[in-house]
C-alpha cells in the first residue's frame, strides 16, 4: 500500500491550495471525476477524511491540514533531489525559493542574485519578501529553501542559522528633514514629528518602544503603520516623517544620497542579518551557490 504516492500528494496539494476540485483539475490536466477518485483513494489509504465537501468547494479537515504541512516538505525535497541529480549529470541549473526580510530585499539579495545570474545563468529564483511571522513558518513547512533577514535566531532545533553581516537599526529621515541639521538629536526631539513604522509585532518597532520606555518617554505613535519597506522609504521623502529601520534596508544609492540616518544617542541598535535553513533538509547545489553568493556580497559590503 503506497500511502504517500507522489502523484496523489501532488493532486492533494493542488486541491488543498485551491480549495476546489473543479479549479484544481484543469491545472493537473485531469478531469474532475478522476481527481475526486485520486483524493478518495488517498483518504481510503490513510483511513481519514482529508476534506469536507461543500457546495462552494472543499474545506480541509484537521487531517488535511496536518498532511499538507508534511506534503509540502516532501515536494520540496523531491524537487531538490531532481535538481541535484541534474547537477551531478553536468546540467548547471536549479531553482531556489527564498524568503527575505525588508532589510535584505533592497541590498544583499539583489547583489547576490545579480552575481549568481552572471556565473550560473541556469539557476532561477523565487524571492518572497515578508516579516518573521510569515517567513519562518514557510521555511519550516518547506515552502522556501532559505530565509534571509534581520530577525532573532529561531529557537528551533529544526532550523540552523548563520550570521551573514552585522547591521545597525537607527532613526531614518528624508535628506531635508529639520532634524538632519540638528546636532545632537535628543530622543525627546523625535516626538515632535510624525512617524511611519512597521506593525507592533515587528522586532524593530518593539526595540524602539522599549528604548523610549527605558528613558521614561512615551514611544512614538505612528500616523502610518506599514509592513512595506518600500512604502516607508517613499513616505520618508516628505522630509517630515521619521522611521526606525536597519541600514541594510536602504538601497546603497539611497544610503548615500537620499535618506539620512540620524545619530540619536542611546537609540541605535546593533543587529545581525542571518541566513536560515532547515537542519534536515537536503540543500540543493543551486541553494549552496546562492549561499556562497550571499556570503561574498556580505563580505564585500562589510569591507
Q: What is the DSSP string of 143-157?
A: S-SEEEESSPPP--T
Q: What's the grid cell of residue 168?
A: 545597525
Q: Which domains does the chain have, with CATH numbers?
A: 1-91 (1.10.10.10), 92-303 (3.40.190.290)
Helix (H) or strand (E) holding 214: helix 203-214
Tell me: the pLDDT tens digits for 8-26?
Answer: 888 999 899 889 998 888 8
Question: What is the structure's pLDDT at 91?
Answer: 47
Question: What is the structure's pLDDT at 224?
Answer: 96
Mean pLDDT, to the nearest integer, of 129-133?
A: 84
Contact present, 14 and 20 (Cβ < 8 Å): no
Task: Evaluate if residue 1 carries a pLDDT over 60.
Answer: no
Task: Evaluate if residue 263 carries a pLDDT over 50.
Answer: yes
Question: What is the structure's pLDDT at 86?
Answer: 61
Please give the Cα distance from 218 to 52 (Å, whole number).
50
Task: Answer whether 0.85 is exceeded by the pTM.
Answer: no
Contact present, 29 and 57 (Cβ < 8 Å): no
Question: Residues 6 or more apart from 18 whose CB is under 8 A from it?
Answer: 24, 27
Mean pLDDT, to the nearest integer, of 224-234?
A: 89
Tell me: the pLDDT tens digits for 168-219?
Answer: 899 999 999 999 999 889 999 999 999 999 888 888 898 899 999 999 999 9
Please give the Cα distance from 131 to 151 (Å, whole number).
9
Please give the Cα distance from 192 to 138 (Å, whole number).
39
Mean pLDDT over each residue of the chain, to the nearest integer: 86
Q: How far out from the chain centre does Cα 28 lie? A: 28
Please give the Cα distance from 284 to 80 (Å, whole number).
5
Q: Is the sign of the CA dihedral 32, 5, 288, 165 positive or negative?
A: positive
Amino acid at each position: 500500500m503506497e500511502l504517500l504516492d507522489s502523484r496523489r500528494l501532488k493532486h492533494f496539494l493542488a486541491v488543498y491550495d485551491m480549495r476546489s476540485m473543479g479549479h484544481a483539475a484543469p491545472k493537473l490536466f485531469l478531469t474532475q471525476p478522476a481527481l475526486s477518485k485520486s483524493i478518495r483513494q488517498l483518504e481510503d489509504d490513510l483511513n481519514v477524511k482529508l476534506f469536507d465537501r461543500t457546495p462552494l468547494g472543499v474545506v480541509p479537515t484537521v487531517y488535511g491540514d496536518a498532511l499538507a504541512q508534511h506534503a509540502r516538505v516532501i515536494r520540496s525535497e523531491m524537487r531538490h533531489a531532481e535538481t541535484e541529480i541534474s547537477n551531478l549529470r553536468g546540467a548547471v541549473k536549479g531553482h531556489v525559493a527564498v524568503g527575505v526580510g525588508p532589510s535584505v530585499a533592497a541590498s544583499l539579495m539583489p547583489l547576490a542574485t545579480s552575481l549568481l545570474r552572471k556565473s550560473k545563468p541556469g539557476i532561477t529564483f523565487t524571492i518572497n519578501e515578508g516579516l518573521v511571522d510569515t517567513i519562518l513558518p514557510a521555511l519550516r513547512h518547506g515552502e522556501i529553501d532559505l530565509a534571509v533577514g534581520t530577525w532573532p535566531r529561531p529557537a528551533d532545533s529544526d532550523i540552523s542559522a548563520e550570521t551573514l553581516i552585522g547591521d545597525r537599526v537607527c532613526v531614518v529621515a528624508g535628506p531635508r528633514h529639520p532634524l538632519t541639521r540638528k546636532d545632537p538629536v535628543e530622543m525627546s526631539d523625535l516626538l515632535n514629528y510624525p512617524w511611519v513604522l512597521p506593525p507592533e509585532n515587528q522586532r524593530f518597532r518593539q526595540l524602539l518602544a522599549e528604548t523610549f520606555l527605558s528613558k521614561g518617554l512615551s514611544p512614538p505613535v505612528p500616523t502610518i503603520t506599514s509592513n512595506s519597506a518600500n512604502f516607508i522609504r517613499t513616505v520618508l521623502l516628505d522630509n517630515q516623517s521619521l522611521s526606525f529601520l536597519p541600514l541594510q534596508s536602504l538601497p546603497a544609492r539611497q544610503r548615500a544620497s537620499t535618506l539620512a540616518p540620524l545619530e540619536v544617542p542611546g537609540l541605535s541598535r546593533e543587529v545581525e542579518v542571518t541566513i536560515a535553513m532547515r537542519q534536515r533538509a537536503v540543500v540543493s547545489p543551486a541553494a549552496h551557490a546562492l549561499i556562497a553568493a550571499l556570503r561574498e556580497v556580505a563580505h564585500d559590503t562589510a569591507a
